[in-house]
A and B are shown apart, each in its own frame.
Chain A
Amino acid sequence: MRHTIYKTDFLLEGATEEGSEAIDFYEKQGGYSALKKALTKMSPEEVTAEVKESGLRGRGGAGFPTGMKWGFLAKGTGKPVYLLVNADESEPGTFKDRSIIEFRPHTLIEGSVISSYAIGAHTAYIYIRGEFVRQAEMLEKALADARKKGYLGKNVLGSGFDVEIHVHRGAGAYICGEETGLIESLEGNRGYPRLKPPYPAAIGVFGSPTIVNNVETLANVPFIIDKGASWFKGIGTEKSTGTRIFGVSGHVKRPGIYELPMGVPLRELLEEHCGGVRSGHRLKGVIPGGSSVPVLRADEIDGVNLDFESCAQAGTMLGSGAMIVLDDSVCMVDTGLNLARFYAHESCGQCTPCREGCWWMVGILNRLEKGEGRTEDIDLLADITDNMMFKTICPLGDAAAMPVESYVKKFRDEFEKHVTEGGCPIKKDKSIKVPENA
């Protein structure tokens, strides 16, 4: 995967070089100096204030301001505080946290230790998806190296602060990337998301105040502490600060990892960095932030910048920063079916609208794609998505409904042709494709 890291900034600096994951490499780049600074020169409150000031927002998908989330921690409960690192990366299209874990794990480790210090956590768990077997091994090694050098464990760098970080492997469940699903899974249960309130910052894992942060979010923390909030605010946009590790996939010439400042125009990422749509094809649509966000038609991407606000204004979401590019060989019904199958497979099954609605959508989309669809099916699909959205325990129901709703809305004629022509009108290309690359 290393060879597909095409653009780096501070988060992925040096990641393209062999051995970038080693602790010595990281230290030579100045790694762990932020930890020294935080532990010796700053109080936990000052660290939190710096992170808050920087405007860092969650990089998992929701974009909640990180410093504000830390501020919600219940105080004086007498219970230990836990930091949970969300390394469950399972949102289709997303492969950015992997790049950190495989090639720059110490940004995550340093960020986790500093964050634990800030929130008063002495135990942190990295919940890593079960399929990341080798990646979990790499993390364990990096943790062992950091422990040897005194960057974690008892009395970190002689500061008196103790923190232990454990790796906890998942076992194949997208829903465990949802923060309360993660907490339930960590507690040894089926990964059923919880009702909120109470929020994890009040009652989380093991009944204690808990902060769940994404890998990329935590990887930003050492840099914010080292170079300061003002520096961080100078990158990106006013409300979406810092860089983003964009993962681009699909029908572009150069799919891969691009760390760019927040707010980069979508067209710039697509055309200049990724080389545009593959030769001989035209752009049909772009899913800017992972499979759960509404699609943008080719004629809608002008003026859209890749930050939280601009994407929201365009009727979609920045989400996990995972851009999936669709060209004219793609059928939107087929795309909807592929994702509906994903969500139906991953739905935990707890609540009625998601459990039944996901399955129903698969059935209808399947029927449409096979050419057995009826006219009513299209409005029915829209109605089902409406009945699922904002009515579930967790956002998976929304994540399943929103894309399909956007495909029906924005590509309605294609759906209708499936009915009137008794089959898929698109000349689909299912052959194995090799990106034209750099």
Chain B
Amino acid sequence: MATEQTRKFEFSPKSAKKIKEIVKRYPDPKAAALPALWVAQDEAGWVSPEICTAVAELLGVTPAHVLGVATFYTMFKKEPTGRQLIQVCSTLSCSLMGAESVVDYLERKLGIKCGETTPDGKFTLMKVECLASCGTAPMMQINDDYYESLTEARIDEILASLE
């Protein structure tokens, strides 16, 4: 059932200031919802219900509204993930070029199934939809960076280079 919130999320002064600046770009503070959630996720690593409440207060909307927004968009994480979030594109063009084999290879190499995180908390593996990299398929996005034209050898190189 709906529970009382016991923990309140407070933005760091830096983040709060950033959001206040962002709000100025729009005639309606509600429009800063996505940018504010990005700032929050960059700070906290994922978007919790408490963060939704904190963002709601800053923008003058209801917590339910922010919860609805946060859960609509794929990139706002509903739970923490590993330090390196590996997202393998699996839509048609990448699939034609072997995306399933990329996923299989990563599953074997990391010892986890798609959707899981390695026990040391380093890697989370996920399949995602088209990342607009179709001419350099197959490819994956790890955190903020694209890694294109993958082969098994390239994958080994990339994983080794990440902390």
Contacts and interface: CB of A to CB of B under 8 A. Distances in A.
Do A and B interact directly, with beta carbons closer than 8 Å? yes
Interface of A: 1, 4, 80, 89-95, 97-98, 129-134, 166, 168-174, 185-191, 206, 247-251, 255-257, 291, 322, 324, 326, 330, 335, 338-339, 342, 345-346, 348, 430-435
B73 A171 contact: yes
Interface string B116-129: 00000000000011
B100 to A, nearest CB: 5
Please indicate which of the listed interface residues B96, B97, B105, B132 has the most CB atoms of chain A within 10 Å of its own CB.
B132
B38 to A, nearest CB: 6
8 contacts: A131-B132, A169-B35, A174-B129, A188-B32, A190-B72, A324-B134, A339-B91, A433-B138
A250 B97 contact: yes
A7 B135 CA distance: 13
A131 B89 CA distance: 11
A172 B77 CA distance: 11
Q: How large is the interface on B (under 10, 10 to 19, 20 to 34, 35 or more residues)?
A: 35 or more
B132 A255 contact: no
A188 B59 contact: yes
Interface of B: 25-28, 30-35, 37-38, 59, 61, 65, 68-69, 72-76, 90-93, 95-98, 100-102, 105, 128-138, 141, 144-146, 148-152
A98 B34 contact: no
Given A324-B96, A430-B101, A131 B135 contact: no
Please indicate which of the listed interface residues B61, B75, B98, B138 has the most CB atoms of chain A within 10 Å of its own CB.
B75
A168 B37 CA distance: 12
Nearest to B25: A166
A134 B147 CA distance: 12
Nearest to B96: A250
Contact of A95 (B68, B75, B129, B134): B134
Contact of B132 (A90, A190, A338, A342): A90
Contacts of A326: 96
Please indicate which of the listed interface residues B28, B31, B90 has the most CB atoms of chain A within 10 Å of its own CB.
B31
Contacts of B128: 131, 172
A1 B133 contact: yes
Contacts of B74: 171-173
Given A1-B148, A134-B144, A247-B134, A169 B72 contact: no
Contact of B27 (A133, A206, A433): A206
Going nearest first, the 7 A-B pairs with the smallest beta carbon separation are A172-B74, A188-B33, A171-B73, A432-B98, A249-B134, A172-B75, A249-B93
Given A131-B131, A432-B151, A432-B152, A170 B73 contact: yes
A130 B73 contact: yes
B73 A172 contact: yes
B114 to A, nearest CB: 14
B132 A248 contact: no
Nearest to B69: A190
Contact of B28 (A80, A187, A430): A187
Contacts of A168: 34-35
Contact of B129 (A170, A185, A346): A346
B98 A430 contact: yes
Given A92-B134, A95-B133, A330 B96 contact: yes
Contact of B34 (A132, A188, A257): A188
A422 B26 CA distance: 57
B66 to A, nearest CB: 9
Please indicate which of the listed interface residues B31, B65, B92 has the most CB atoms of chain A within 10 Å of its own CB.
B92
A339 B75 CA distance: 20
B59 to A, nearest CB: 7
Contacts of B134: 92-95, 247, 249-250, 255, 322, 324
Contact of B73 (A95, A97, A173): A173
